[in-house]
Amino acid sequence: MSTVPASLVRALVGSGDRPIVEVERRLPMDPGEVWDALVQPERLARWLGAIESGERPSVGDAFGLRLGDEPGDRADCRLLACEPSRSIAIAWRWTGEPGSVVHLSVQASEGGSTLRLRHELVAPQPVPDYGAGWEAHLDGLGDVLAGLAPRAFAMPSHDAWTRMADGVLQVEQRVAAPVETVWRAVATEQGLRTWWWRHWRDTTIDADVRPGGALRIAAPDAGISLTGEVLVVDADAHHLAATWVWSDADGTSADEAFDVALAPDGDGTLVTVRHSGPWADDAPAAAYRQGWTFVLGELAEVVGG
């Protein structure tokens, strides 16, 4: 199984036509210092790129961001939202590409700060380039915050992101119940307890279903545990996504994530699950397909009747 530094989370969620790149870093600096490096133009230029005007934009302002010396190494941006000291959202259009949105947030965590980056893409945009590219830039940010010169730009995780993008598993299940009923079953702790791994009597489920919340499902007698961090909860769109760390006697997975989307299907609901990981062959996806088919069948039986 692949490994990843403890200070880094990488995940691919979203749909095939609207993939979402998620990168998270835990940094040994206080949130104010990290925030300053995100929004002060002179500090931003040291690890990401130079704002062409040299001025810090306000919400609604358009600005150019130059990341390199070549003519095409720039993005046309607009600051969409800013919650001071906490989060920003930026409309992003790289040269020759359709528009997308980048979200950055900072919060205090044990030993420093957690920085989360989410890039909401559209289909023609290259997931591996953005995933590995953002990781490389955040490496540079870590160097700058540590008082070091930013390392030379490189994308060692490009192969991992390529495997993640190319090997996404998708499973669908129709449930004979309204969308809101199914949503409560998949997006609440109480709902999950009615159907997930119900065939094991010792199954425990703890789910803090909010962005950044923790997910833990364990079946001790089977020697299996599943943990994760909730990435997306959109009750209006009926969309839930989280990282996925599977642990059993064979080891612990890394760089995996799952995405659940609900859509009306006549008088019922179509549940679409996408599961990604940097798998070197088809075996993990085949095993997960079997597992997802089983648990979604349980969902359909319990909720659909």
Range of the domain at 281: 169-304
Same domain, 14 and 159: yes
Q: Are residues 204 and 288 in the same domain?
A: yes
How many folded domains does the chain comprise? 2
Domain end marker among 166, 186, 205 = 166
* 284 domain residue, yes or no: yes
Q: Using CA atoms, how far apart are residues 208 and 187, in angstroms rounded to an integer?
A: 9
For residue 116, tell me if it sits in a domain: yes
| Structural domain includes residue 135 | yes
What is the radius of gyration, based on Cα positions, of the chain? 20
177 and 97 both lie in a single domain: no
Q: Which amino acid is at 183?
A: W
Does 29 share its domain with 138?
A: yes
List residues bridging with 224 in a β-sheet: 219
Residues 135 and 184 reside in one and the same domain:
no
Question: pLDDT of 139-155, one tens digit each?
Answer: 999 999 999 998 899 99
Tell me the pairing of strands 74-83 and 87-94.
antiparallel
225-274 residue pLDDT tens = 999 999 999 999 999 999 999 999 999 999 999 999 999 999 999 999 99
Q: CA 213 to CA 230: how far, in whole Å?
A: 5
User: Cβ(135)–Cβ(117) under 8 Å?
Assistant: no
Does any domain span residue 1? no
Q: Is 3 within the bounds of a domain?
A: no
Same domain (yes/no): 111, 212: no
| Cα angle, residue 276 at apex, residues 170 and 77 outer, rounded to 5° | 105
185 touches 296 (CB < 8 A): no
Same domain flag for 192 and 286: yes
Q: For residues 134 and 118, what is the distance between their CA atoms, to the nearest angstrom?
A: 10
Residues 6 or more apart from 139 whose CB is under 8 A from it? 150, 151
Does one domain contain both 146 and 174?
Answer: no
Look at the pTM and tell me if it is higher than 0.85.
yes
The answer to whether position 28 is within a domain reads: yes
Question: Confidence band (pLDDT; 50, 70, 90) for 69?
Answer: confident
Give the CATH number, domain containing residue 160.
3.30.530.20
Q: Where are the alpha helices (DSSP H) in 49-178?
A: 127-145, 158-166
Higher pLDDT, 128 or 305: 128
Pure H helices in 79-177: 127-145, 158-166
48 and 182, same domain (yes or no): no
Distance CA 194, CA 17 (A): 32
Give pLDDT, residue 7. Answer: 62
**Within this chain, do residues 284 and 205 fall inside the same structural domain, yes or no?**
yes
User: What count of other Cβ atoms lies within 10 Å of the Cβ of residue 147?
Assistant: 6
Q: Would 2 be classed as within a structural domain?
A: no
115 and 13 belong to one structural domain: yes
